[in-house]
Chains A and B, each alone.
Chain A
Amino acid sequence: MALTIKQQFSSPGGILKFLIKHNTIFIFIVLVIFSALISDVFFTSVNLSNLLKQVSGIGIISIGMLIVILTGGIDLSVGSMVALLAVTFAILVNTVILPLAIILTIIIGFSLGSVAGYLVAFQKMAPFIATLALMTIARGLGFIYSKGSPITFKTPGGEFMSNFANNSTLGIPNIAIVFFLIVIGAMVMLRYNVFGRLVIAIGSNEEASRLSGIKVNKYKFLVYAISGALAATAAIIVASRTNLGSPNMGMAWELDAIAAVVIGGASLNGGKGTAINTLMGVLILGLIGNILNLLNVPSYPQQVVKGGIIIFAVLLQKFESK
Chain B
Amino acid sequence: MKTSESEYRVEMTGISKSFGVVSVLENVNLKVKPGEIHALLGENGAGKSTLVKILSGVHQKDSGKITLNGQEINPKNTHEGQVLGISVVYQELSLVNDLSVAENIYLHKLGASKFWMNWKKITEDAQELIDSLGFEIDAAARVRDLSIVQKQVVEIAKALSEDTKVLVLDEPTTVFDPTDIKKLFDNLFKLKAKGISIIYISHHLDEIFKIADSVTVLRDGVDTGSMAVADTDADGVIRLMIGRELKDLYPPRNVQVGEVPVFEVKNLTAKDTLVHDVSFSVRPGEILGIAGLGGSGRTETAKLIFGAHKKKSGTMLLNGKEIKTNTPVCAVGHQIGFVSEDRKEEGVFLPLSIRRNISVTNFTGISGKLGFINTDNEYKNVVGLIDKLSIKAPSSEIDVKNLSGGNQQKVALAKWLSVDSKVIFIDEPTRGVDVGAKVEIYNLINEVAEKGVGVVVISSDMPEIMGISDRILVMYKGTIYGELPKDKFSEENILRYSIGKQLK
Contact = CB atoms under 8 A, between A and B. Distances in A.
Interface residues of A, number: 22
B349 A205 contact: yes
A133 interface: no
Interface residues of B, number: 31
B359 interface: yes
Given A11-B21, A192-B375, A214-B329, A205 B350 contact: yes
Nearest to A195: B371
A150 B345 CA distance: 51
B449 interface: no
A138 B306 CA distance: 41
A248 interface: no
A200 B356 CA distance: 10
Given A197-B373, A209-B360, A210-B308, A204 B328 contact: no
Contacts of B332: 212-213
A197 B359 contact: yes
Interface in A178-214: 192-195, 197-198, 200-201, 204-205, 207-214
A204 B375 contact: no
A193 B373 contact: yes
Interface string A267-282: 0000110000000000
A214 B356 CA distance: 14
Nearest to A272: B351
A214 B360 contact: yes
Given A194-B363, A194-B367, A197-B373, A208 B345 contact: yes
A201 B373 contact: no
Contacts of A194: 363, 367, 371-373
A208 B359 contact: no
A207 B412 CA distance: 14
B328 A205 contact: no
Interface string A159-185: 000000000000000000000000000
* Most-contacted residue by chain B among A11, A192, A198, A213 (CB, 10 A): A213
Contacts of A209: 349, 360
A213 B338 CA distance: 9
B331 interface: yes
Contact of A201 (B306, B333, B352): B352
B328 A210 contact: yes
Given A200-B352, A213-B332, A271-B352, A207 B345 contact: yes
Contacts of B372: 192-194
A215 interface: yes
A272 B373 CA distance: 19
B346 interface: yes
Contacts of B348: 205, 208
B460 interface: no
A201 B360 CA distance: 8
Nearest to A321: B351
A3 B338 CA distance: 37
A170 B186 CA distance: 80
A209 B340 CA distance: 12
Report whether over half of chain B's contact residues are helix, strand or loop; otherwise say mixed: mixed
Given A192-B372, A192-B373, A207-B345, A197 B360 contact: yes
B363 A213 contact: no
A179 to B, nearest CB: 23
B338 A211 contact: yes
Interface string A77-88: 000000000000
Contacts of B375: 192
Contacts of A213: 328-329, 331-333, 361
B3 to A, nearest CB: 36
A211 B346 contact: yes
Interface string B411-442: 00001000000000000000000000000000
B347 interface: yes
B326 to A, nearest CB: 13
Interface string B98-117: 00000000000000000000
A214 B349 CA distance: 13
Given A197-B359, A197-B363, A213-B329, A271 B351 contact: yes
Contacts of A197: 356, 359-360, 363, 373
A213 B415 CA distance: 12
A317 B202 CA distance: 37
Contacts of A272: 351
A99 B346 CA distance: 47
B415 A212 contact: yes
A212 B348 CA distance: 9
Contacts of B356: 197, 200-201
Contacts of A271: 349, 351-352
A110 B340 CA distance: 36
A210 B309 CA distance: 12
Contact of B351 (A204, A207, A211): A204
Interface in B275-329: 306, 308, 328-329
A98 B375 CA distance: 41
Given A197-B363, A198-B360, A201-B352, A211 B329 contact: no
Nearest to B397: A4
A265 to B, nearest CB: 13
A201 B371 contact: no
A207 B346 contact: yes
B367 to A, nearest CB: 5
Nearest to B364: A194
A204 B346 CA distance: 11
Given A213-B361, A215-B329, A208 B373 contact: no
Given A205-B346, A208-B347, 11 more contacts: A195-B371, A201-B360, A204-B349, A204-B352, A205-B349, A205-B350, A212-B328, A212-B361, A213-B331, A213-B332, A214-B360
5 contacts: A194-B367, A204-B351, A211-B346, A212-B328, A213-B331
Interface of A: 11, 192-195, 197-198, 200-201, 204-205, 207-215, 271-272
User: Ordered nearest first, which 6 A-B pairs have the shortest CB separation?
Assistant: A213-B332, A194-B371, A204-B349, A205-B349, A204-B351, A194-B363
